[in-house]
Amino acid sequence: MSDAGAPILPHATPMLAEADRLMTVCNSCRYCEGICPVFPAMELRRAFHDADLRYLANLCHNCGACHDACQFSPPHEFDVNVPQVLAKVRNDSYAEYAWPAALQPVFRRNGLWIGLGFLVVVSAFLLGMIVVHGGDLFTAYLHPENFYALMPHNVMAALFGAAFLYMLVAIGMGALAFWRDLAGGAPAAIDLARAGHQAARLTHLDGGGPGCAGNEGQGGDPRKLWHHLTFYGFGLCFAATCIATLYHYLLGREAPYPYWDLPVVLGTLGGIGLVVGPVGLFLAKMKRPAHLWDTESRGMDVAFIAMLFATGLTGLLLAFLRHTPAMGPMLVLHLGAVMTLFLTMPYGKFVHGIYRGMALARNAWEQRRAGH
């Protein structure tokens, strides 16, 4: 570790101390000001407390452009690697803000935990359907109630509703802790709109225009497309589920729905996004130069990508195989994937969207207040 920019403030971890050092070096240079909002946000500060660093880390989109532009990146003795150090601080922050605190260690061997979780949930569903409910996995497709011959609709709604609510509470508690750490800030509608726009378009993956590093400067970051497919695919699937729930309770229309109906159309389109997007993200991650990201987070990153992929793939297969004996096993796998996804959202890579969104909102507010 270089002594250039060596921190004066105390820090909770060596990685936060290193982030302070880097921000001190960068603040005396400022060449990267036009690349992304991390650097203008840094310039509003002269000292970097842990909360500032976690904020800056979550504002960083890991495009990597600042690393390639830096005169002082390794092997220079100043050893400046902002994308990687902020990625480590960011990944640590997910655990630090997680609720309840007892589950923070889940972030450490995240891939293993989420994999085990999936196994446990699928096994529980199998047991429930066969032993408790007395269903037959391979003949249920012949039953007039179809899916619900294996798991009654009310049970399904109750289980998933409860999991969803738990997820909201747990993520909300983490978000609250992050917001408190940011010490105030009062984003107005315009700030939220700006942050929302930037998040929806992934504006800051552009490296200020020329595109991300590790992409040989060949224009846009390919991860942007994959992320859009994943994000909007997830959104469509979620919308399909919500509409189906409304159909059921408000209109009394029960699944299965015809192919042309909204839940199926949206779910199919979303499912395709959730299959293609995660594959692209996974391949992009495998190709990404190791020095630009936190390779220790590989398990967490891949686990989240894998759960999204599993959700999308099993959902599509369920839709296409629902009139075959494979319907039962596919239902178990799909419900297992969705349930695991919900339950592990607060303890995995999903939270990156929450904290980054909040960092963008905070940034929009503080930059507007600074008159920029």
Q: Is 60 in the site for other proteins (CB under 8 A)?
A: no
Output the six-digit token pair for 316. Answer: 């599509």
Among 1, 28, 144, 252, binds other proteins (CB under 8 A): 28
Task: Count residues near other proteins (CB under 8 A).
Answer: 34
Helix axes 82-97, 351-369, angle to 10 degrees: 110
Nearer to other proteins, 161 or 209 (CB): 209
Window contacting other proteins (CB under 8 A); options: 32-40, 82-90, 299-307, 355-363: 32-40
Among 190, 209, 246, 290, binds other proteins (CB under 8 A): 209
Q: Is 371 in the site for other proteins (CB under 8 A)?
A: no
| Helical (H) or strand (E) element with 303 | helix 298-320
Among 71, 189, 250, 258, binds other proteins (CB under 8 A): 71
Window contacting other proteins (CB under 8 A); options: 10-18, 34-42, 95-103, 291-299: 34-42
Window contacting other proteins (CB under 8 A); options: 20-28, 96-104, 130-138, 243-251: 20-28
Q: Is 217 in the site for other proteins (CB under 8 A)?
A: yes
Window contacting other proteins (CB under 8 A); options: 111-119, 209-217, 279-287, 328-336: 209-217
Least CB distance to other proteins at residue 364 (A):
18
DSSP state of 60: -
Nearer to other proteins, 218 or 324 (CB): 218
Among 55, 72, 99, 304, binds other proteins (CB under 8 A): 72
Sign of the C-alpha dihedral computed for residues 262, 263, 266 and 272 taken in this order? negative
273-294: burial string, b at 16+ Cβ within 10 Å, e else: bbbbbbbbbbebbeebeeebbb
Q: Within 13 Å and on the Cβ side, how many CA atoms surround 118?
A: 18
Output the six-digit token pair for 366. Answer: 């503080």
Least CB distance to other proteins at residue 292 (A):
15
Nearer to other proteins, 77 or 296 (CB): 77
**Residue 14 · residue 340 · CB < 8 Å:** no
Q: Is 259 in the site for other proteins (CB under 8 A)?
A: no
Q: Is 27 in the site for other proteins (CB under 8 A)?
A: yes
Output the six-digit token pair for 207. Answer: 């490296």
Cα gap 69→220, rounded to integer Å: 17
Cβ within 8 Å of residue 48, ≥6 positions away: 7, 9, 19, 20, 23, 24, 42, 56
Q: Is 75 in the site for other proteins (CB under 8 A)?
A: yes
Cβ within 8 Å of residue 109, ≥6 positions away: 299
> Can you say how many angstroms the Cα of residue 339 is from the centroid of all Cα atoms in its chain?
16
Q: Is 1 in the site for other proteins (CB under 8 A)?
A: no
Least CB distance to other proteins at residue 3 (A):
8
Q: Is 120 in the site for other proteins (CB under 8 A)?
A: no
Q: Is 208 in the site for other proteins (CB under 8 A)?
A: yes
Q: Is 302 in the site for other proteins (CB under 8 A)?
A: no
Q: Is 210 in the site for other proteins (CB under 8 A)?
A: yes
How many Cβ atoms sit within 10 Å of the Cβ of residue 161? 11
Least CB distance to other proteins at residue 114 (A):
37
**Residue 137 · residue 150 · CB < 8 Å:** yes
Of 97, 14, 95, 26, which is closest to residue 60 (Cα–Cα)? 26
Through-space distance between the first and last CA atoms of the chain, rounded to whole angstroms: 34
Q: Is 220 in the site for other proteins (CB under 8 A)?
A: no
How many Cβ atoms sit within 10 Å of the Cβ of residue 26? 23
Nearer to other proteins, 31 or 249 (CB): 31
Among 22, 41, 56, 66, binds other proteins (CB under 8 A): 66
Residues that bind other proteins (CB under 8 A): 4-6, 8, 24-25, 27-35, 40, 43, 46, 65-66, 68-72, 75-77, 207-210, 216-217
